[in-house]
């Protein structure tokens, strides 16, 4: 998720750490302004406003260029560097990035090793991977290559690139990775509810979980997994307002309504009130009309 959603969702609580959107690097070291635009938390101790650490994620296939950019992030105060070997997007994969690198364990190892050498020893280097590219036949080989290169933690998404985001996620195979490497493994994929979290932990053997779309759909999910009370809709409404104000500062007017609807589209999986707000906003495109509807919703008395 981008920094606007990171800022909003970490205010709900329950999140130990975030990872930035991947920062794509190709032929050169990116200027600091690009890093700060994609991850403005770098200017604030690599923390969201709620104080949650954010780790910068890089995606690329050239070890030297990846190392240069990792070093630049470290100089800007990144909490750590995460390396993306999991993106299934065809555009990224065609340019030798993301999950296709799982078919090249030697190159994946070289990338991690170069990044590990480029950043100070106290900064963690982690990696995100899938179960494989087209199948999971090289899953363990890829995981072991990443760890041998210096990855101190693996986040494993329980599907191959070919499987995309289609259910199910194969949490039991994440468990096989966990057993094969000597570093912490974080399980990821299809965790939408506390019941999913419990099953994922049982099948993978992993204690730690990474939440993606599940957290966007249910901002209280991390708290619920920890056994804490989930926020009510009335508690979420100010965050929705805050998100709208944040995107108004940097997103072109013609795209603002779409960004809010995108979030509401997921929120309505868990909150019937989000469905009602989405229905009102669906035909609306002008920011002033969106603003009017949000303000009216926020001012309405709670039912009962």
The residues annotated as belonging to the active site are 87
Helix axes 3-12, 233-248, angle to 10 degrees: 160
Alpha carbon distances (Å) from 254 to 44, 212, 248, 257, 282: 30, 26, 10, 7, 14
| The two three-digit tokens of residue 120, written as one number | 């100070």
Phi, psi dihedral angles at 263 (to 5 degrees): -70, -45
Structure tokens at 177: 């990775």
Nearest Cα residue to 235 out of 41, 13, 7: 13
Retrieve residue 233's tokens: 């809709």
Contact 266, 283 (CB under 8 A): no
């Amino acid at each position: 998720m981008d920094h606007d959603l990171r800022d909003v969702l970490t205010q709900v609580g329950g999140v130990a750490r975030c990872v930035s959107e991947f920062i794509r690097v190709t032929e050169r070291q990116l200027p600091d302004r690009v890093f700060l635009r994609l991850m403005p938390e770098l200017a604030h101790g690599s923390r969201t406003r709620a104080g949650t650490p954010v780790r910068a994620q890089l995606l690329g296939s050239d070890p030297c260029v990846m190392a240069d950019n990792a070093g630049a992030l470290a100089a800007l105060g990144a909490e750590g560097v995460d390396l993306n070997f999991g993106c299934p997007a065809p555009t990224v994969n065609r340019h030798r990035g993301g999950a296709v690198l799982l078919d090249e364990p030697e190159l994946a190892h070289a990338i991690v090793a170069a990044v590990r050498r480029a950043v100070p020893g106290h900064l963690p280097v982690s990696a995100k991977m899938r179960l494989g590219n087209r199948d999971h036949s090289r899953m363990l080989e890829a995981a072991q290559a990443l760890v041998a290169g210096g990855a101190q933690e693996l986040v494993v998404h329980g599907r191959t690139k070919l499987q995309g985001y289609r259910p199910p996620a194969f949490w039991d195979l994440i468990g096989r990775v966990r057993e094969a490497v000597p570093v912490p493994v974080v399980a990821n994929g299809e965790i939408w509810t506390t019941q999913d979290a419990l099953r994922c932990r049982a099948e993978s053997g992993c204690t730690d979980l990474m939440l993606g779309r599940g957290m966007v759909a249910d901002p209280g999910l991390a708290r619920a997994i920890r056994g804490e009370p989930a926020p009510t809709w009335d508690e979420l409404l100010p965050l929705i307002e805050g998100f709208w104000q944040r995107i108004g500062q940097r997103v072109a007017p013609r795209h603002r309504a779409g960004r809010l609807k995108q979030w509401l589209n997921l929120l309505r999986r868990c909150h019937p009130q989000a469905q009602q707000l989405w229905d009102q906003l669906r035909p609306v495109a002008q920011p002033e009309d969106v603003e009017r509807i949000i303000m009216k919703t926020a001012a309405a008395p709670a039912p009962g």
